Structure 1
């Protein structure tokens, strides 16, 4: 399961507290008190047999003796009782229709663990979700829903906090409250017996009230689900992750996983807390560079040093920008930092913002202010608020010595984050830049490399099969060389020649958490710079391979293409030959190219699943179709140009019928979303033929996008208008239906404009039920796949 019924926790309609109490210091009392203090407006019931039926109830709310006595099923139940009661409670609540429970109590013994297993088994038939046990709770301040035993009532804000630690969650809630900051949601996961970090990420990825996600994790249990959810979330909004244990042996693997998913890893809790201010109050800056605005030379120097250390993100002004600032502010030192002078008044800060607004080269505005007689803090803050509309690329502020609560709250209300030192300001912005760069890495289109032919792949697979059939689990020497040769990789046995630039040790192994992973290691080139130690999760493409190469201290010594190709082909080898469970070799980089030295391959009948699903080559097929050879296969990231040509070949009316509105063109980010899909939860099958120039040309595409629970998948199909009526739509639909059924999806659904008679006819012919929708101009399609 993933997001199913999580809305009952994050958007509760009614709440019951099982084991509610008014005994000071008890868990039941703390949980009940937080709900009352939070002001939850929906139906609220207490369950406590000792106080059932009392006229006054608990704070005016009714108390019943047993969960079965509740007047209706609560959408979420908070369970504060001992573990032995959990199975029966969950069974009763699930039967009533309750969709989620938060277990606040902890598991402390083997008997408790057995009770938890029985509770999970009781929840499963009813699809009731369980948060915990040992969970501090889940908070949605916008609904006054303070569910749990948090140390304080949280304020409303724009960031979500997700943590595996109750203590850290309490500390963060207190810290934020003291600074007037809040959250869209805050959740402490507890033991993650059911709801885990991947589930919550999936939910928050599409939550409109959450602008950014702050994640504190110690370990990832379901790596494939986590990676899929994290990549989906990072495409939509910043996700920043904190994990302690930088010196642990496996920590570098978490760094690689976070980077691959598009998450920004932060080093300290302070860094994560600063982002509650930066992202919860403001918005993601629409620039990778910044201009500092201050009145004092000393402050300017401090701020410039902070930005240099954090990543050198100060903008390089154009001549036009410099001239505009000199004309508007003749007494200022025009440059970056922009120094307004000791006698600057509040209005000069406003004029600077107004002048820089039209200058794209100036980037995001950062006002760093130390109070002076001519520019007191409150007056400068008012000026920033009045001129906030000019900060098109974002604005952040730093006030030495801080501001009073009223001024801080006024700045927050207008979307202006406030930091106390230039260092915190610079580091917060550097992390936003990291997010933008990581998101670009997710969205980059890799250049196409020649795919290995089917015969070559089958030959390599045959070598592995033959070895296992003979009872051998290791390939070395000529056998290993022949297997790698099928993927275009050359193997040598001789010692490293004098012209070798570097020998990179490559290890491929099965990790307990993340499944198959690569590790690359190389010594320091000079004894002073750090050595190369990089983990990476396959599958790799040329973009991801280039990212690995650019982390190497040897990257500037040789043309990157041979190493890039070798890494990508190594990845293809382990993706296609599923019997490879481990390998060790040396990647020898020389001026003339890259070769493999001393490879050793370990084989087994089965291995773990990849954390990121590789390209599903098994779905490829080529058939005869109206006298042409038609290839049907899953879409690949490098298909972007071909897909652009396909979309541009569609008529305006075809585009309107497919996308339900007039569409002129698609930019890179839109096309990247169409071609760079997560094969674990989405499929796009394209049909193509060879064009007159010999290059493939897309004729049609059918998509199916599953919800995170795999309960339903929404389909869509598009065919070139010149080919309609030739059966291509049915051919693609047959395959997308079969694909969805093979994944265990229960329902295939879709929609079409009512005027789209060909699509409606095709859906009926395929066996879909056609139904009206809330929009009179749209019809819905539904097909059971069980």
Structure 2
């Protein structure tokens, strides 16, 4: 359940095939043949006691006879042999194994468990069993039994299905398309979809990820990995089973993670073309270029059906087109005329290049005598650089292989119908929208006084201590009132617009999830029924509310505040294991009706970690009252002011180079963090006008294994030299140690003597790096902490609230 040693699978240096064979039709023969035909240029070894040589390669009798430890081994033998083979390989130094065979019965499943036990002491990773394998075309590494030799490309394919993976690889091969990696996970006994997403998120050769899953095994890890990946590159997911009762929950989970869900395999295949070939910066607008009126009508209908928007043709473009292409009819679609020649398509791209509002360029063309497809394609290749937001093409009837390959080489995706092109673009726009949702800065809720939260906590604890496991009516209303929620009687229906039933239920996989239902409006065909993963904020609540047709009839703010407050109640009071109430939405307000809460001392963890309030601390510092706490999305404006207050030299020392102004997306990355993997503690104080000023920040970002966390720190330029850096540093060390991280590491420019001095003073060891101008730091956190002379716990930064909790048990 980590990314540890996954580089052995995706960047192997040597390979062994256990059970390699030349027996026609055997698994060992298929795997060996594909490895050799693929052209992998590292050492390869065959293991089978029946052969001395296999296709010119020496063959050894068993894994213990290998001359060196292979980076990865492909195991093609029966299940009963797996534990012994993995034990031998692990002791030899092999870091990963792909098990191609399947565990079909109880004995086979027991063998899988023994295999994992044999792998664990050596940290050897296991893919499968029942895996088609892993392909990395750039290294010519075909590790398994794919149906074809796979070309190199920019899209990664990750699937739980062998048959579907083979079908997709074959489809892409026939169209000259390739992959950065292709992964068939099999039974996911060890390596699962979350692990692979984590690896691919930072893989420079992967521009987009296409994911096919039926189910997610470790929801919390999957959500963290998917959110990290979707912040960096498009992630599209296909899940079959729309009739599955859990399907709506998967839709909500994908959207919350910034993953675009597609409805059909055809849609996913089209994205191999669009994302693997092109580099399209999809905005909301596009301009359609064609020569024929009938083609223009078909394409326009396709874009309208997909929900895409054709950009208005700006006056500047109309005048420029009239001069450059007098026989064309300016507009959108841009009609070049039935007698247009190939070079006219290139001219259109040049003219539109100066009109940025025209968006992405689409060329849809059916071959004519004056403009054959091959000549139009050459014109697009020659003028592709003018399409600043990308260029996509659709040629009815397809193109020759040489023409297709030339278009691909220049980053121009080619589709066969306007419908496929329009849907492909729709998904790019959808990715931009869900990524913006992931990066949005929510408006802050009114801060709940700690006393109010503590009072709600005390009520829950008192109920449990007296044997009460559910709160109804007035008792439930009293607890929820601490979060600003007003309760009204069921018969109070004045100005009521709709009742939304809100339920918190514990899903076996995703943990606590919300379910929101409401009746249809008038003759609307479908009632509202959507899921939401807590914690929610006003932006996420708005995304949920938008699913109801009633949203346009009410003032949104009271509803959003109520939904967010309900989420805050279950996030803060972990003893609430289930909830059911009615949110009565009125024209200008919202209240709750008939609340019911069920309590328990043990609740499943959220799939997305909520704001960790237990790390908040208020203290006196140099005669001022400051607060040290985790950063929140609402801190973006204060963080912008904090960064802008720093001198250029301080910024250079912090970011290892000259930096300019930070835009919203960069600041969102700094303030919207995944608390399950990253912590940013900020020191703040209140200005005279009541606003919050950020004085300093320290971060620790852990790898998915929680083996190592890397820290970074910045202090406001006018606060340097006052000890704030040490105060923050000691707290991030205490935080990382409390979550079980083994090592804390960091770097500083050699000229940054203040940072170097601070790091060594608090216990880091200075280390060399590959860059002589950079000093590294390293601290073992699982060693006993030694206090310096005269230092108490407060001076060491271990505040009483750290690691503590306001739960009934006193721990989290």
TM-score normalised to structure 2 length:
0.95
Which of 486, 493, 517 is the matching residue for 2:482? 486
Deviation at 1:114, TM superposition (A): 1.3
CA contact (8 A) 1:238 1:263 kept: yes
Which of 116, 131, 142 is the matching residue for 2:138? 142
Distance 1:663 1:745 in 2: 31
Report the RMSD for the aligned CA atoms in angstroms: 0.9
Residue 168 (1) aligns with residue 164 (2): yes
Q: Does the residue aligned with 2:310 lie in a helix, a strand or coil?
A: coil
Residue 707 (1) aligns with residue 708 (2): no
Distance 1:319 1:531 in 2: 44
Deviation at 1:497, TM superposition (A): 1.7
Deviation at 1:318, TM superposition (A): 2.0
Distance 2:586 2:742 in 1: 53
Deviation at 1:569, TM superposition (A): 0.4
Q: Does the residue aligned with 1:138 lie in a helix, a strand or coil?
A: strand
Distance 2:341 2:386 in 1: 18
1:92 aligned residue: 88
Distance 2:724 2:353 in 1: 52
Which of 598, 613, 620 is the matching residue for 1:624? 620
1:24 aligned residue: 24
Which of 222, 226, 243 is the matching residue for 2:239? 243
Residue 550 (1) aligns with residue 565 (2): no
Which of 57, 62, 73 is the matching residue for 2:58? 62
2:298 aligned residue: 302
Residue 580 (1) aligns with residue 556 (2): no
> Which aligned pairs between 1:639-654 and structure 2 lie closer than 5 A?
639-654=635-650
> Which aligned pairs between 1:109-258 and structure 2 lie closer than 5 A?
109-258=105-254
2:33 aligned residue: 33
Q: Does the residue aligned with 1:62 lie in a helix, a strand or coil?
A: strand
Distance 1:415 1:305 in 2: 26
Distance 1:538 1:382 in 2: 52
* Cα deviation code 1:258-277 (max 9, x no counterpart): 00000000000000000000
1:424 aligned residue: 420
* Cα deviation code 1:60-86 (max 9, x no counterpart): 111001111111100000001111111
1:448 aligned residue: 444
Q: Does the residue aligned with 1:393 lie in a helix, a strand or coil?
A: coil
314-323 or 296-305: which moved more? 314-323
1:724 aligned residue: 720
1:439 aligned residue: 435
1:48 aligned residue: 48
CA contact (8 A) 2:282 2:425 kept: no
* Cα deviation code 1:685-744 (max 9, x no counterpart): 000111232322111111000111111100011112322222211111111011111111
1:11 aligned residue: 11
Deviation at 1:498, TM superposition (A): 4.5
> Which aligned pairs between 1:212-611 and structure 2 lie closer than 5 A?
212-611=208-607
CA contact (8 A) 2:308 2:422 kept: no
CA contact (8 A) 2:554 2:588 kept: no
2:658 aligned residue: 662
Distance 2:14 2:431 in 1: 37
CA contact (8 A) 1:445 1:672 kept: yes
CA contact (8 A) 2:284 2:308 kept: no
Residue 683 (1) aligns with residue 692 (2): no
Distance 2:492 2:321 in 1: 59
Distance 1:537 1:670 in 2: 25
Distance 2:598 2:507 in 1: 15
CA contact (8 A) 2:210 2:237 kept: yes
Distance 2:322 2:438 in 1: 40
Distance 2:161 2:42 in 1: 28
* Cα deviation code 1:638-672 (max 9, x no counterpart): 10000011111111111011001011221111100
Distance 1:535 1:290 in 2: 33
Distance 1:653 1:394 in 2: 38
CA contact (8 A) 2:765 2:777 kept: yes
Sort the Cα spacing of 1:551 and 1:326 in 2 relative to 1 into closer, same or farther, 3 A: farther
Deviation at 1:41, TM superposition (A): 0.5
Q: Does the residue aligned with 1:91 lie in a helix, a strand or coil?
A: helix
2:795 aligned residue: none
CA contact (8 A) 1:313 1:430 kept: no
Q: Does the residue aligned with 2:696 lie in a helix, a strand or coil?
A: strand
Q: Does the residue aligned with 1:123 lie in a helix, a strand or coil?
A: helix
Deviation at 1:529, TM superposition (A): 4.3
CA contact (8 A) 1:321 1:361 kept: no
Distance 1:750 1:480 in 2: 48
Residue 748 (1) aligns with residue 744 (2): yes
Q: Does the residue aligned with 2:228 lie in a helix, a strand or coil?
A: helix
Distance 1:236 1:626 in 2: 41
Deviation at 1:499, TM superposition (A): 2.2
Distance 1:159 1:96 in 2: 34
CA contact (8 A) 1:463 1:479 kept: no
* Cα deviation code 1:340-363 (max 9, x no counterpart): 111000011110011001111111
Deviation at 1:169, TM superposition (A): 0.3
CA contact (8 A) 2:273 2:414 kept: yes
Deviation at 1:528, TM superposition (A): 2.5
Deviation at 1:496, TM superposition (A): 4.7
Q: Does the residue aligned with 1:492 lie in a helix, a strand or coil?
A: coil
1:2 aligned residue: 2
Distance 2:655 2:728 in 1: 18
CA contact (8 A) 2:180 2:205 kept: yes
* Cα deviation code 1:579-611 (max 9, x no counterpart): 111111111001130000011111111111000
Show structure 2 runs of 5+ residues with no match.
783-812
Distance 2:161 2:401 in 1: 29
CA contact (8 A) 1:531 1:553 kept: no
Distance 2:614 2:771 in 1: 39
Distance 2:313 2:331 in 1: 7
Q: Does the residue aligned with 1:524 lie in a helix, a strand or coil?
A: coil
Deviation at 1:761, TM superposition (A): 0.5
Distance 2:385 2:349 in 1: 9
